[in-house]
Amino acid sequence: MNVPKHWRAIPERYRMEAGKCRKCGEISFPSRLICPACNHNEFDLVNLSGKGKLLTHTIIRTAPEGFGDFAPYAVGIVELEEGVRIMGQITDCDPEKLKTGDKLTSKFRRMNEEGKTGMIMYSYKFVPDIGI
Protein backbone atom coordinates (compact mmCIF):
# COMPACT_ATOMS: atom_id res chain seq x y z
CA MET A 1 0.00 0.00 0.00
CA ASN A 2 1.78 3.11 -1.32
CA VAL A 3 -1.01 5.57 -0.48
CA PRO A 4 0.63 7.49 2.40
CA LYS A 5 4.00 7.51 0.60
CA HIS A 6 2.50 8.91 -2.60
CA TRP A 7 0.28 11.36 -0.74
CA ARG A 8 3.27 12.82 1.13
CA ALA A 9 5.09 13.31 -2.18
CA ILE A 10 2.18 15.10 -3.95
CA PRO A 11 3.67 18.63 -3.67
CA GLU A 12 6.92 17.63 -5.41
CA ARG A 13 5.41 15.08 -7.78
CA TYR A 14 2.44 17.20 -8.94
CA ARG A 15 3.93 20.69 -9.09
CA MET A 16 7.69 20.26 -8.49
CA GLU A 17 7.52 22.11 -5.19
CA ALA A 18 11.00 22.83 -3.83
CA GLY A 19 12.40 24.66 -0.78
CA LYS A 20 14.50 27.80 -1.27
CA CYS A 21 16.75 28.59 1.71
CA ARG A 22 15.89 32.00 3.15
CA LYS A 23 19.51 32.58 4.17
CA CYS A 24 21.66 31.41 1.23
CA GLY A 25 19.10 30.83 -1.57
CA GLU A 26 20.05 27.18 -2.11
CA ILE A 27 17.16 25.25 -3.67
CA SER A 28 16.44 21.77 -2.33
CA PHE A 29 14.16 19.40 -4.19
CA PRO A 30 12.18 18.10 -2.46
CA SER A 31 12.25 20.70 0.32
CA ARG A 32 14.18 19.82 3.49
CA LEU A 33 14.22 20.69 7.17
CA ILE A 34 17.88 21.81 7.19
CA CYS A 35 19.69 23.54 4.30
CA PRO A 36 22.53 21.29 3.08
CA ALA A 37 24.57 24.37 2.11
CA CYS A 38 24.35 26.56 5.25
CA ASN A 39 22.40 24.56 7.88
CA HIS A 40 19.66 27.23 8.03
CA ASN A 41 16.14 25.92 8.76
CA GLU A 42 13.77 28.36 7.04
CA PHE A 43 12.62 27.84 3.45
CA ASP A 44 10.25 29.48 0.98
CA LEU A 45 8.29 27.02 -1.14
CA VAL A 46 8.83 27.57 -4.88
CA ASN A 47 7.61 25.59 -7.89
CA LEU A 48 10.45 24.64 -10.24
CA SER A 49 10.15 25.63 -13.91
CA GLY A 50 10.58 22.04 -15.13
CA LYS A 51 12.77 23.33 -17.96
CA GLY A 52 16.33 22.12 -18.30
CA LYS A 53 18.78 20.00 -20.21
CA LEU A 54 19.65 16.34 -20.19
CA LEU A 55 22.91 15.54 -18.37
CA THR A 56 22.90 11.76 -18.75
CA HIS A 57 20.43 8.97 -19.35
CA THR A 58 19.95 5.23 -19.66
CA ILE A 59 17.39 3.11 -21.47
CA ILE A 60 15.36 0.65 -19.40
CA ARG A 61 14.52 -2.50 -21.35
CA THR A 62 13.67 -4.81 -18.46
CA ALA A 63 11.22 -2.70 -16.51
CA PRO A 64 10.27 -3.11 -12.85
CA GLU A 65 6.71 -4.15 -11.97
CA GLY A 66 4.12 -1.68 -13.20
CA PHE A 67 6.40 -0.12 -15.82
CA GLY A 68 6.45 -2.99 -18.33
CA ASP A 69 4.12 -1.33 -20.85
CA PHE A 70 6.48 1.66 -21.15
CA ALA A 71 9.62 -0.37 -22.04
CA PRO A 72 11.90 0.49 -23.64
CA TYR A 73 11.93 3.89 -21.94
CA ALA A 74 14.54 6.43 -20.90
CA VAL A 75 15.40 7.59 -17.40
CA GLY A 76 17.75 10.53 -17.11
CA ILE A 77 19.20 13.23 -14.91
CA VAL A 78 18.02 16.67 -15.93
CA GLU A 79 19.66 19.90 -14.84
CA LEU A 80 16.92 22.49 -14.47
CA GLU A 81 17.27 26.23 -15.15
CA GLU A 82 17.32 26.71 -11.36
CA GLY A 83 20.47 24.58 -11.13
CA VAL A 84 18.70 21.66 -9.48
CA ARG A 85 19.42 18.17 -10.83
CA ILE A 86 16.47 15.80 -10.97
CA MET A 87 16.09 12.20 -12.06
CA GLY A 88 13.01 11.38 -14.06
CA GLN A 89 11.48 9.32 -16.83
CA ILE A 90 11.65 10.84 -20.32
CA THR A 91 8.52 10.23 -22.36
CA ASP A 92 7.04 11.28 -25.76
CA CYS A 93 10.36 10.57 -27.49
CA ASP A 94 12.38 7.89 -29.25
CA PRO A 95 14.75 6.92 -26.40
CA GLU A 96 17.42 5.86 -28.91
CA LYS A 97 17.63 9.43 -30.22
CA LEU A 98 18.12 11.20 -26.87
CA LYS A 99 21.50 12.80 -26.27
CA THR A 100 23.26 14.78 -23.57
CA GLY A 101 22.37 18.47 -23.77
CA ASP A 102 18.87 17.93 -25.19
CA LYS A 103 16.42 20.57 -23.99
CA LEU A 104 13.63 19.02 -21.96
CA THR A 105 10.56 20.28 -20.15
CA SER A 106 8.31 18.68 -17.55
CA LYS A 107 4.79 17.38 -18.09
CA PHE A 108 2.26 15.97 -15.66
CA ARG A 109 1.90 12.25 -16.37
CA ARG A 110 0.72 8.95 -14.98
CA MET A 111 3.66 7.34 -13.21
CA ASN A 112 2.27 4.01 -12.06
CA GLU A 113 -0.80 2.38 -10.58
CA GLU A 114 -1.42 -0.18 -7.86
CA GLY A 115 -2.89 -2.79 -10.18
CA LYS A 116 -6.17 -2.41 -12.07
CA THR A 117 -8.25 -1.46 -9.02
CA GLY A 118 -5.73 0.46 -6.91
CA MET A 119 -4.55 4.03 -6.62
CA ILE A 120 -3.17 5.81 -9.69
CA MET A 121 0.08 7.67 -9.04
CA TYR A 122 0.79 10.85 -11.00
CA SER A 123 4.06 12.72 -11.25
CA TYR A 124 6.22 14.93 -13.44
CA LYS A 125 8.05 13.36 -16.35
CA PHE A 126 10.28 15.01 -18.92
CA VAL A 127 9.55 15.43 -22.64
CA PRO A 128 11.56 17.09 -25.43
CA ASP A 129 11.06 20.88 -25.18
CA ILE A 130 9.48 21.51 -28.57
CA GLY A 131 7.03 24.19 -27.47
CA ILE A 132 4.07 21.82 -27.30
Partner 1 sequence: MIGIIGYGTQIPRYRIKVEEIAKVWGADASAIKRGLNLNEKSVPAPDEDCATLSVNAALNALKRASIDPKKIGAVYVGSESHPYAVKPTGTIVSEALGICPRVHTADLEFACKAGTEGMFIALQLVKSGAVTCALAIGADTSQGAPGDALEYSASAGAAAFIMGAENLIAELVETDCYMTDTPDFWRRENAHYPEHGGRFTGEPAYMKHVTGAVLAILEKTGTKPEDFDYLIFHQPNGKFPVQVAKKLGFKEPQYRYGLLTPTLGNTYSGSSPMGLAATLDEAKPDQTILLVSYGSGAGSDAFIFRTTERLLKVRKHAPKVRKQLDEHRYYLEYGAYAKFRRKILKPE
The residues of the shown chain that bind partner 1, judged by CB under 8 A, are 10, 14-15, 47, 69-70, 91-92, 107-111, 115-116, 120, 122, 125, 128, 130-132
Nearest approach, Cβ of residue 120 and partner 1 (Å): 6
User: Whose CA is closest to 80, among 10, 20, 4, 27?
Assistant: 27
Q: From partner 1, Zn ion, none, which one binds at residue 69 (CB under 5 to 8 Å depending on kind)?
A: partner 1
- Cα–Cα separations (whole angstroms), residue 91 to 33, 81, 96: 32, 20, 12
Q: From partner 1, Zn ion, none, which one binds at residue 91 (CB under 5 to 8 Å depending on kind)?
A: partner 1
Q: Which is nearer to partner 1, 69 or 96 (CB)?
A: 69
Are residues 101 and 54 in contact, defined by beta-carbon separation less than 8 angstroms?
A: yes
Tell me if the bond preceding 95 is cis, omega within 30° of 0: no
Q: Which is nearer to Zn ion, 13 or 20 (CB)?
A: 20
35 binds Zn ion, rule: CB under 5 A: yes
Are residues 106 and 15 in contact, defined by beta-carbon separation less than 8 angstroms?
A: no
**Distance in Å from the first CA to the final CA of the chain:** 35
Stretch that binds Zn ion, among 33-41, 48-56, 73-81, 101-109 (CB under 5 A): 33-41
Nearest approach, Cβ of residue 35 and partner 1 (Å): 23
Q: How far is CA 38 from the centre of its chain?
A: 25
26 binds Zn ion, rule: CB under 5 A: yes
